[in-house]
Amino acid sequence: MVQAADNLITRRIFDAQTLVTAFPPRFYDPNKQLVYEIACPTGTVHQGQIVFSRWRKISLPETLDPAQPQTVYEPRPDYFSYEPLPSSNSAVEWYLNFAHYDLFCAYDGPLFAQDEMQVSEHPALGSLREALLASDIKPLAVENGEPTPALIMGVERRCAIATNPIPERDRPYGLYGNNFALASATAIEQATQVLNPPTLTNILAMEAPAGGYGNYKLKEIEYILSTAFTGFTAAHLESQLNVDPAREVVIHTGFWGCGAYGGNRILMALLQALAARLAQIDRLVFHTANASGTEDFTKAVGIMQQLVPAGNSVKISDLIQAIEAMKFEWGISDGN
């Protein structure tokens, strides 16, 4: 396992109440403002500390060690619910933020994809962005063409927002994506459930590449794998440092980079599964949304198991070349 000091760019600890008081979120979308007022009414007390860290790219290992513990892959046909797994109540759990390179840059506006939804449910993330902008810390998940994943430990989740279509609740098309800004105040109020007490979430923010075309090239595959490996390794290191080295480390993810960015679902799942193994993550919980997503993830894990036979040492460069030879194709943005 790489040493933390080798690749850590910065680590800052914020008192949650001080952070939100000094840097209140600023909204120009009225529906985002409404969610915030519901989740954080006047007099709200924000508890605990928020640990922010940012990491430069960690070099991939040369080989995959067959003696290294196996990662458990667990598909779940749902979306993030931020609840501990029944089998791992003592685990340190991380949830992916499908980030823009400029961290949380759209939190205040009308967009409502995975990134913006996560910030709305964890409103102190908006304050964190404002604090970073006012400091010497760059709120970037990519810098100079290299991934720099950011991790946030211990942020309160103060509400849950239902995005599924329910016509009788004034959201016939749901609230996800561009539908959020078009929704009525009544729809927003009915969809927002206050969590009392709030729960705590650990977030890993990293940006996938966007807008490719044709078959994935070798450098694109290596970049995606390096990004996921860096983020997952940083999560492992932060878990050891801030919690307990003996605790199980769990990462919750999904089809990262496969919505607005047009990524290939099977390839992005495959590279995350491989990165989790390389980063010695105990469990990768892949939220597939539905049966079709579960099928894609199962295909991805099957491909990885073929590429990495049990008990064999495999060169990472050979793995990347083998994946390129499979000619995975870029998809199309979903517009959200």
SS (H, E, C) the chain: CCCHHHHEEEEEEEEHHHHHHHCCCCCCCHHHHHHHHHHCCCCCCCCCEEEEEEECCCCCCCEECCCCCCCEEEEECCCCCCCCCHHHCCCEEEEEEECCCECCCCCCCCCCCHHHHHHHHCCHHHHHHHHHHCCCCCCECEECCEECCEEEEEEEEEEEECCCCEHHHCECCCCCCCHHHHCCHHHHHHHEEEEEEEEEEEEEEECCCCCCCCECCHHHHHHHHHHHHHHHHHHHHHHHHHCCCCCCEEEEECCCCCCCCCCCHHHHHHHHHHHHHHCCCCEEEEECCCHHHHHHHHHHHHHHHHHCCCCCCEEHHHHHHHHHHCCCECCCCCCC
pLDDT in tens, 179-228: 999 999 999 999 999 999 999 999 999 999 998 899 999 999 999 999 99
Is the backbone peptide bond immediately before 197 cis, with ω within 30 degrees of 0? yes
Interval 59-71: pLDDT, tens: 999 999 877 888 9
Angle between the N-to-C axes of helices 218-242 and 316-325, in degrees from 0 to 180, rounded to the nearest 10: 130
The half-sphere exposure of 137 on its side-chain side, counting CA atoms within 13 A, is 20
Q: What is the pLDDT of residue 313?
A: 85
Model confidence over 238-279: pLDDT tens digits?
Answer: 998 866 777 899 999 999 999 889 999 999 999 999 999 999
Nearest-5° Cα angle at 77, 287 to 211: 50
Instruction: Read off the pTM.
Output: 0.95
* Residue 48 Rama label (left phi>0; alpha psi -120 to 50; beta): left
The predicted pLDDT at position 272 comes to 98
Antiparallel, parallel or unpaired: β 146-147 and 249-253: unpaired
Q: Do 191 and 120 form a contact (C-beta atoms < 8 A)?
A: no
Query: Tokens 């199980």 correspond to what residue?
Result: 248
* Neighbour count for residue 332 (Cβ, 10 Å): 7
- Quote the CA–CA distance of 336 and 260 in Å, as a whole number: 5
Task: Please name every residue paired with 253 in a beta bridge, in sequence order, or none if there are none.
Answer: 286
Q: Alpha carbon 290 to chain centroid distance?
A: 19
Confidence at residue 25, expressed as pLDDT on a 0 to 100 scale? 96
Whole-number Å distance between alpha carbons of 157 and 183: 22
Residue 81 is which amino acid? Answer: S
For the segment 101-106, the average pLDDT, to the nearest whole number, is 97
Take residue 299 and report the two structure tokens written for it.
């295909």
Q: Return the residue matching tokens 């994506």.
A: 177
* pLDDT of the residue at 240: 83
What backbone torsions phi and psi does residue 205 show, to the nearest 5 degrees?
-105, 120
Domains, the chain, with CATH or none: 4-325 (3.40.220.10)
* pLDDT tens-place string over residues 114-162: 999 999 999 999 999 999 999 999 999 999 999 999 999 999 999 999 9
Q: How many CA atoms lie within 13 A of 242 on its CB side?
A: 24
> What is the β-pairing status of strands 63-64 and 314-315?
antiparallel
Residue 191, CA distances (Å) to 81, 162, 163, 184, 195 in order: 15, 5, 7, 11, 13
Q: pLDDT (tens digit, 9 = 90+) per residue, 300-321?
A: 999 998 998 777 789 999 999 9
